[in-house]
Amino acid sequence: MTVATHTASRPCRLADVPHWDGEADALIVGYGIAGACAALEAAEAGASCLIFELASGAGGSTAMSGGEFYFGGNGGTPVQRDHGFADATEDFLNYMMMAGGPGADAERVRLFAENALAHYEWLQAQGVPFKGTYHPARTVEPFTDDTLVWSGSEAAWPFSERARPAPRGHAVQQEGMGAGRVLMEKLVAAVTVRRNIEAQFDTRALALIADADNHVHGLVVRSDGSERYYRARKGVVLCAGGFVSNAEMLRRYAPDALRIGFHVSGGNDNGSGIRMGMSVGGAAIHMDQFFSTRPFIPPECLIKGIFVNERGQRFINEDAYHGRIGQYIMRQPSGNAWLLVDNSIFERPKLFPNIEVAAVGEHWAEIEHELGMPAGELVHTVETYNRHAAAGSDPIFRKHADWLQPLTEGPFAAMSFGDSAWPAAGFTLGGLATLPTGQVIDPEGAVIPGLYAAGRTACGLPRWGEGYSSGMSLSDASYFGRLAGRHLAAA
Amino acid sequence: MTVATHTASRPCRLADVPHWDGEADALIVGYGIAGACAALEAAEAGASCLIFELASGAGGSTAMSGGEFYFGGNGGTPVQRDHGFADATEDFLNYMMMAGGPGADAERVRLFAENALAHYEWLQAQGVPFKGTYHPARTVEPFTDDTLVWSGSEAAWPFSERARPAPRGHAVQQEGMGAGRVLMEKLVAAVTVRRNIEAQFDTRALALIADADNHVHGLVVRSDGSERYYRARKGVVLCAGGFVSNAEMLRRYAPDALRIGFHVSGGNDNGSGIRMGMSVGGAAIHMDQFFSTRPFIPPECLIKGIFVNERGQRFINEDAYHGRIGQYIMRQPSGNAWLLVDNSIFERPKLFPNIEVAAVGEHWAEIEHELGMPAGELVHTVETYNRHAAAGSDPIFRKHADWLQPLTEGPFAAMSFGDSAWPAAGFTLGGLATLPTGQVIDPEGAVIPGLYAAGRTACGLPRWGEGYSSGMSLSDASYFGRLAGRHLAAA
């Protein structure tokens, strides 16, 4: 029989399956954190699982990440409580609702807010280590093996006005950055050793297998150069990441994300999971949203600087999360911005020590002139900022008093944050619409039988670039990956 | 036989069609301008057509519009040339590429730029009247029966730097606003009298009929309370409008558009066309984009005012298109903005005479105080603007010298442009991805056989809220509606 070429955008019809090469209750596409957690939970509930991974090993984009989770509520995780942060569920929930933006999913947020502590314990039970210590200095992720960090805009306006601030970033224990690798090692150990779940590597998921009603029954994959047909007795779980690696999809769905210069990705965020879901009628939502950042901290003293655009205007409170600032930078005229510092706080960003210092001068007017700004604007901006900062307030942009210090000690400098000077790092946030159970739904909210999605293949808790906070993606992918596995097993 | 309930998000399978109630070469869903033009062109090429319309008469959202088209290039339309605007194709094209934003479709833009004049003639040949006169005063649409108006940001920075400005809005002849009604009357006359094309009113398109490969073969409709099955010998053309009337779709795809208070819509922009296209694997793109405006002109003297946000900052050159300003207003803190004027230019917007005057005073410091702004910011903004305006320049925001006049004649006033004071008017720009032929494509660019889309069901020339210019939607819907009809007829 001649088999037509399969593509993610068209399901293989059940009637066209030439033979079955295997089957399991759950077929899981992608072996990052979402796939691992879906498998663990499904297996716990007695379902057989088979994981397909395009790469030669597990990890996906999770292994490239900082290994940071977003946890809180219920009076605080043990590490929050140990360090004096009694994090109320409603504060945690309110922050996540704000962070989710105008399309926030209240049901999903509520569920996670109420169950985050139990989920933290579950991860530890799988062998994922958290040291339990607090790292108070503002940073992107700990360079130490500490656990608890401020990883969002919690203490910054406007979030701090509607949700009592607490640090909620929980980093997996590892000395240095990139704890995602440790995280995945531990989860893979749980999947393979504890649960004995099979994974096939170097295997590309080509297309869903669906009947004429778009009920999903399996998956076509390619491995060793041939196409194989797997039956899903209970369902397929798409955990294949986002689409930051697919320029054509970015152009169509999130053209501003083409400006991301560094993909926070294992390299296979090609959108195939999302396209497979759409091929059987699944809705893909908030596809324009993405996370992008130029992580200017550490050192935290740089928060005492001020960002300005080419008009010499400030545009954000600099104590906001670096990813929120990154989104605001993108929409400034010409996409340019500079961080202004004085001599007392001048340091280069640890993560980008080669940053361009675009202007240096003994007076702000020199900086203004060197940057080619309209005469008087930058000087007015700095003078106004300094006058208020000296009085301990920032009535215009509302940066917290902790970070207010007049920029008066020359020489002064301006560091470049434009696209060309410092390409943004980021990933996509849009994906398949799902119920909290992980079930993929169509644009009218009807469930696509037999199909689940989790991680960045789904549109989850993080769905608004301006609100993204470090740890939200792993928390979402792991928790809702588990719920998908659990629901599927009970199907 | 029991017929399952059909929904737009799930195709009716060909094998499940109980009987055929009728057939035509082209089944056209929606009787606005896109549907009318698709029918006219398909019929011209010899194809039989059947139009289904949900409302009790033709018109759709087109009939609610200003009846304005966007035309230019090839040295200018006759009316452009008569009034001294030799509009080069490359200028027209460059402007439309900028207006399309980061996701602009170069192929579509090029095709329209080269054929706009011929299309203008075609519309006249269908009986659509254009008087041929020029209305130089800036306005939203002519209140007269004039033709040619400045209907975008052509003469404004940054557009004017990359495309030589020309007025390109061409309004259908009618005394007063709302020439869309005349436009549709003429097109309907052409469809019914000249071409004798049948239309069924009060008929809702429920679902596409597709085979297991998602090739489209027809349409299920409901009329007179029963479901009917129509076969499309050559194809179905979805011209069912956008989705501004569907709050649930807005929430999922364009949550910021929930802030649109007045839908520029005939009332049936419920997204059903887009959902039908997605149900057979069609990609829906740029779904987050929408047009929204608070049309503050006429009178054009208000362009000499300045917009400020709650921080007392300007944020845009006020000579930009009112819809571009509308998009910028939406993203200001709290979504608030005020138009500042002095006594010499004070008038109320003709289209919103009940505008709230939030502050009046003899000095700008009083206005600043009344608006609750940080002390000194508004005063600085106005002083800076006035100083430069007196010298005939606006180095910060680059408003053209024609609109620069110091705001020095008290009393001064601030008019409110926030969501609550003046709800924005708008419609959606995202829709199905199509080739210029109107063929709907999947996320990988493969054609869905038998399926076409045009008008706001498709994502066309206008696909970026910041770049939308009046007339682009009707130009796109009519021209690419025609191409869809033509391609279908030749299928």
Contact check, Cβ <8 Å, B249/A8: no
> Taking CA atoms, what residue in A is nearest to B281?
A279
b/e for A443-454, b at 16 or more Cβ within 10 A? bbeebbbbbbbb
Contacts of B196 (CB under 8 A, 6+ apart): none
DSSP class of B188:
H
pLDDT at position A4 is: 53
Residue type, B376: G
CB-closest option in B10, B212, B283 to A281: B10
Put simply, the answer to whether A10 touches B446 (Cβ < 8 Å) is yes
pLDDT value for A2: 41
Residues in chain B within 8 Å Cβ distance of A374: 395-396
Write out chain B residues lying below 8 Å of A101, CB-based: 255
Cβ-defined contact of A213 to B13 (cutoff 8 Å): yes
Share of chain B above pLDDT 70, in %: 99
Is B473 or B1 the better-scoring residue by pLDDT? Answer: B473
Contact state of A213 with B374 under an 8 Å Cβ cutoff: no
Start-to-end C-alpha separation, chain B? 34
**What is the pLDDT at residue B420?**
87
Chain B positions touching A9 (Cβ under 8 A) are 281, 283, 442-444, 446
Report the C-alpha gap between B404 and B395 in whole angstroms: 11
Whether B322 has a pLDDT exceeding 60, the answer reads yes
What is the Cα–Cα distance from A209 to A280, expressed in whole angstroms? 9
Q: What strands, in cross-sheet order, belong to the sheet with B68-70?
A: B68-70, B169-171, B148-149
* Pure H helices in A310-351: 322-330
Beta bridge partners of B453: B238
pLDDT band (50, 70, 90) for residue B141: confident
CA distances from B119 to B77, B99, B449, B488 (A): 10, 20, 27, 19
Report the pLDDT value the prediction gives residue A5, as an integer from 0 to 100: 84
Tell me the nearest-neighbour CA distance from A299 into chain B, angstroms. Answer: 28
Q: Name which of B5, B6, B7, B10 to mutate to probe chain A: the one with the most chain A Cβ atoms within 10 A of its Cβ.
A: B10
Cβ pair B249, B230 in contact under 8 A: no
Using CB atoms, pick whichever of A252, A275, A443 lies closest to residue B285.
Answer: A252
To test the contact with chain B by mutation, choose from A5, A10, A260 the residue with the greatest count of B C-beta atoms within 10 A, namely: A10
**Yes or no, beta carbons of B278 and A443 under 8 Å apart:** yes
Contacts of A196 (CB under 8 A, 6+ apart): none
Tell me which chain A residue has its CA closest to the CA of residue B311: A396
- The C-alpha of A454 sits at a distance from chain B's nearest C-alpha, in angstroms, of 17
Q: What number of other Cβ atoms are within 10 A of residue A154's Cβ?
A: 24
CB contact under 8 A, B278 and A275: no
Of A212, A288, A313, the CB nearest to B288: A288
The ipTM estimated for the assembled molecules is 0.92
d(CA A456, CA A473): 8
Contact B8 A444 (CB under 8 A): yes
CA distance B280 to chain A (A): 7
Nearest CA in chain B to A259: B102
B249 with A376: Cβ contact below 8 A: no
Residue with tokens 């919103």: B352
As a 3-state breakdown, chain A gives helix, strand, coil percent values, each rounded to 5, of: 35, 20, 45
What pLDDT does B4 receive? 53
Q: What sign does the dihedral B118-B119-B125-B128 (CA atoms) show?
A: negative
In A, which residues are within 8 Å of B103 by CB distance?
251-252, 255
Pair A211, A10: CB distance under 8 Å:
no
| B279: chain A residues, CB-CB within 8 Å | 281, 442
Chain A residues with CB-CB distance to B380 below 8 A = 380, 384
pLDDT at B1 over 90: no
Q: Which amino acid is at B120?
A: Y
Question: Distance (Å, rounded) from C-alpha B471 to C-alpha B152?
Answer: 9
Least confident of B75-84, B228-237, B415-424: B415-424
Average pLDDT over residues B362-383: 97
Q: Which residues share a beta bridge with A361?
A: A412
Helix (H, G, I), strand (E, B) or coil at A200: strand
Q: Which pLDDT band, with edges at 50, 70 and 90, does B419 fall under?
A: confident
Of A9, A253, A283, the CB nearest to B285: A253
Q: State the count of interchain CB pairs (< 8 A) between A and B.
A: 123
Which member of A9, A278, A287 has the closest CB to residue B287? A287
Residue with structure tokens 């997605």? B278
- CB within 8 Å: B103 and A251: yes
Q: Which helix (H) or strand (E) holds A432?
A: strand A431-432
- Express each pLDDT in B250-288 by its tens digit: 999 999 999 999 999 999 999 999 999 999 999 999 999
Q: Is A437 exposed, middle or buried (0-12, 13-18, 19+ CB in 10 A)?
A: middle
Identity of the residue numbered B20: W
Closest CA to A55 of A246, A190, A240: A240
Q: Choosing among A216, A252, A369, A463, which should be mutated to test the B contact, i.e. which has the most B CBs within 10 A? A: A252
Distance CA A151, CA A294 (A): 14
Task: Tell me if B9 and A258 make a contact (CB, 8 A cut-off).
Answer: no
- What is the C-alpha to C-alpha distance for residues A288 and A430, in angstroms, rounded to an integer? 6
All domains of chain A in start order, with CATH: 1-294+424-491 (3.50.50.60), 296-421 (3.90.700.10)
Least-confidence region, from A204-208, B196-200, B330-334, B364-368: B330-334
The DSSP secondary structure of A127-188, one letter per residue, reads T------B--S--SS-SSS--EE--SSTTSTTHHHHS-----EEEPS-SSS-THHHHHHHHH
Q: What is the least distance, in Å, from the CA of A148 to any CA of chain B?
A: 31
> Quick one: which H or E segment has residue A453?
strand A447-453
- In this structure, what token pair is assigned to residue A208? 């869903």
From chain A, pick out residues whose CB is under 8 angstroms from the CB of B249. Answer: 443
pLDDT (tens, 9 = 90+) of chain A, 491 residues, equals: 344 589 999 999 999 999 999 999 999 999 999 999 999 999 999 999 999 999 999 999 999 999 999 999 999 999 999 999 999 999 999 999 999 999 999 999 999 999 999 999 999 999 999 999 999 999 998 889 999 999 999 999 999 999 999 999 999 999 988 899 999 999 999 999 999 999 999 999 999 999 999 999 999 999 999 999 999 999 999 999 999 999 999 999 999 999 999 999 999 999 999 999 999 999 999 999 999 999 999 999 999 999 999 999 999 999 999 999 999 999 999 999 999 999 999 999 999 999 999 999 999 999 999 999 999 999 999 999 999 999 999 999 999 999 999 999 999 999 999 988 999 999 999 999 999 999 999 999 999 999 999 999 999 999 999 999 999 999 999 999 999 999 999 99
CA distances from residue A128 to A65, A101, A185 in whole angstroms, order as listed: 15, 30, 9
Residues A10, B213: C-beta atoms closer than 8 Å: yes
Q: Which of A32, A52, A84 is nearest to A458 (CA)?
A: A32
Judge whether residue B2 has pLDDT over 70: no
Angle B260-B160-B388 from CA coordinates, rounded to 5°: 90
Q: How far is CA B93 from CA B87, B151, B274, B392, in A?
A: 10, 16, 27, 30
pLDDT digits (tens, 9 = 90+) for B190-223: 999 999 999 999 999 999 999 999 999 999 999 9
Core vs surface per residue B48-87: b (16+ CB within 10 A) or e: bbbbbbbbeebbbbbbbbbbbbbbbbbebbebbeebebeb
